[in-house]
């Protein structure tokens, strides 16, 4: 086992030195910004994307026949470690929207062979972007009350209804949508998971602007939109179990506490940033004792979160199961990330209140925007409160409240 990894590591190092363009070094943010602008990926970035796709390293643990590299989890860890060492970054998960993290793993589990061959390679190469049409105006946390419906028209499904908060809908080629296929069944029993093309007359998107200023998501309207008959994922009327699994994948992808906003090789640790803005006493302690104590608690929470992630991985012997633990980690990652943002703007003082312009550094502005957009973490992927429901019911075995709607 250990031997395997050593030779694999050497192989990855050689591959990286051959294929990774040094112009892209430590520039993840730049690459993704360009990708979503008018210009698209730079020539070097496009070449790098293609190299990753050819090697199957965009979604490295997926089987080779579907565009992955068939790596084990520990090999994939070596790959990402080596990439980090040379300042390389895998843009494919970002380019594929919800494809790599959520749709792909679910297709791998529930899809037919034909569906896997048709959908996965486009995701793994970062050339087909996916969005997810789950939430509706009246179906948020209570997703099963959705009303968008799909009717069987012989050759195709005809879809009518409205979705909301569809991330990246205006920039995606495909959508994984949750639709009602049996109106007479009980709430959860008449739902199916349908995959459909976004570029068709029956689909319209309207971007929604968020408090942070960006418009990452849309209202999505289906008016007699069409989906192929063989693009139903999983059995008819069994969409609820498909989406439950998909949401576990989503939660799993949100259990890391994320990189500090404005991170890059030059970014200061949050304690150094605090010293810079707040100053220190003669003995080198942060001048604001109250902030110092709260910052310490935050750093401890960050460390505890990281150690819990490793402990759970270790207990699972290298294989992270999509499990109950994900709900704990999602909420703790949320707290870590949101508290970090709050502390950062607090320590920046007036400089942490800017919206735009030259009076503020790019890092200060990014911190403010990040603080605002980060409020979403406790809302999507199952809200903070919904995660607590899951923990109390599924892990602790407490009965569901009778007061719930």
Partner 1 sequence: MAALTEEQTLIRDQARAWVTEQSPVRKFRQMRDEKAPLSFHADDWQAMIDMGWTGILVPEKYGGSELGYLTLGIVLEETGRQLTASPLLASAGIGAAALLVAGSDEQKQRILPGVVDGSNVVTLAVEEGPRHDPRQLSLAAMSRDDGLSLVGEKTMVHEAMAATHFVVAVRTSGHAGDENGMTLVLVDAESEGLTLSPLSTVDSRGYASLSFSDVKVSEEQILGSVNSAYVHLEQILDRARAATAAEMMGTAAQAFDMTLEYLKTRVQFGQVIGSFQALGHRAADLFTEMELTRSCMEGALQAIDAGREDVPELCSLSKTRTGEFIHHMSNELIQIHGGIGMTDEFDAGLYLKRARPLEAAWGNQAFHRDRYARLLGF
Piece in contact with ligand FAD (CB under 6 A), picked from 15-23, 147-155, 190-198, 384-392: 384-392
Helix or strand run (H / E) with residue 194: strand 191-197
- 206 with 97: CB under 8 angstroms? no
Q: Tokens 């179990």: give the residue.
A: 241
Q: Say what angle helices 239-253 and 325-348 make with each other, to 10 degrees.
A: 40
Binding mask 187-226 for ligand FAD (x = CB under 6 A): ------------------------------x---------
- 116 with 106: CB under 8 angstroms? no
Piece in contact with ligand FAD (CB under 6 A), picked from 108-116, 335-343, 351-359, 373-381: 373-381
Tokens of 221: 């309207």
Piece in contact with ligand FAD (CB under 6 A), picked from 16-24, 52-60, 127-135, 226-234: 127-135
Among 208, 376, 391, 392, binds ligand FAD (CB under 6 A): 376
Examine the residue annotation and report whether 250 is marked as an active-site residue of this protein.
yes
Q: Does the protein bind partner 1 through residue 399 (CB under 8 A)?
A: yes
Least distance to ligand FAD, CB of residue 226, Å: 20
Among 75, 172, 332, 341, binds partner 1 (CB under 8 A): 332
- Number of residues this chain uses to bind ligand FAD (CB under 6 A): 19
Using CB under 6 A as the binding rule, the residues of this chain from 237 to 256 that contact ligand FAD are: none
Sequence-distant (≥ 6) Cβ neighbours of residue 43 within 8 angstroms: none
Tokens of 345: 């703007």
> CA dist 88 to 23, 37, 76, 123, 388, Å?
10, 21, 14, 20, 37
> CA dist 51 to 88, 157, 205, Å?
12, 37, 33
d(CA 271, CA 342): 14
d(CA 149, CA 239): 13
Q: Does the protein bind ligand FAD through residue 389 (CB under 6 A)?
A: yes
Among 83, 158, 380, 392, binds ligand FAD (CB under 6 A): 380
Least distance to ligand FAD, CB of residue 161, Å: 12
Piece in contact with partner 1 (CB under 8 A), picked from 36-44, 184-192, 300-308, 356-364: 300-308
- 136 with 158: CB under 8 angstroms? no
- Site residues, ligand FAD (CB under 6 A): 131-135, 140-141, 165-167, 217, 376, 379-380, 383, 385-386, 389, 404
């Amino acid at each position: 086992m250990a031997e395997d990894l050593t030779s694999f590591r050497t192989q990855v190092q050689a591959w990286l030195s051959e294929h990774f363009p040094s112009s892209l070094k430590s520039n993840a943010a730049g690459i993704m910004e360009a990708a979503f602008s008018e210009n698209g990926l730079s020539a070097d970035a496009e070449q790098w994307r293609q190299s990753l796709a050819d090697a199957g390293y965009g979604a490295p643990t997926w089987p080779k026949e579907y565009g992955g590299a068939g790596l084990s989890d520990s090999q994939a860890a070596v790959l990402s470690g080596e990439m980090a060492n040379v300042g390389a970054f895998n843009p494919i998960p970002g380019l594929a929207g919800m494809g790599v993290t959520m749709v792909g793993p679910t297709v791998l589990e529930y899809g037919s062979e034909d569906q896997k061959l048709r959908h996965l390679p486009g995701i793994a190469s970062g050339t087909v972007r996916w969005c997810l049409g789950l939430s509706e105006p009246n179906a948020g946390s209570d997703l099963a009350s959705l009303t968008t419906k799909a009717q069987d028209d012989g050759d195709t499904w005809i879809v009518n209804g409205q979705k909301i908060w569809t991330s990246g809908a205006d920039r995606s080629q495909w959508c994984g949508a949750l639709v009602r296929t049996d109106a007479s069944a009980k709430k959860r029993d008449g739902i199916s998971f349908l995959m459909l093309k976004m570029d068709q007359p029956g689909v319209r998107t309207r971007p929604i602007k968020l408090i942070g200023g960006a418009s990452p998501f849309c209202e999505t309207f289906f008016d007699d939109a069409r989906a192929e008959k063989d693009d139903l994922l999983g059995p008819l009327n069994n969409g609820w179990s498909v989406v439950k699994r998909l949401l576990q994948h989503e939660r799993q992808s949100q259990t890391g506490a994320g990189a500090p906003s404005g991170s890059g090789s030059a970014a200061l640790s949050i304690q150094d940033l605090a010293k810079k803005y707040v100053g220190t006493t003669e003995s080198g302690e942060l001048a604001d004792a109250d902030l110092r104590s709260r910052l310490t608690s935050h750093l401890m929470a960050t460390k505890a979160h990281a150690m819990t992630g490793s402990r759970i991985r270790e207990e699972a012997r290298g294989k992270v199961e999509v499990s109950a633990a994900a709900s704990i980690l999602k909420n703790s990652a949320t707290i870590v990330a949101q508290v970090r943002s709050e502390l950062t703007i607090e320590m920046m003082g007036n400089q942490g209140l800017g919206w735009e312009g030259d009076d503020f550094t790019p890092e200060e502005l990014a911190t403010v925007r990040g603080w605002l957009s980060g409020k979403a973490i406790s809302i999507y992927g199952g809200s903070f409160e919904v995660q607590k429901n899951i923990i109390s019911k599924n892990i602790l075995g407490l009965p569901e409240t009778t007061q719930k709607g």
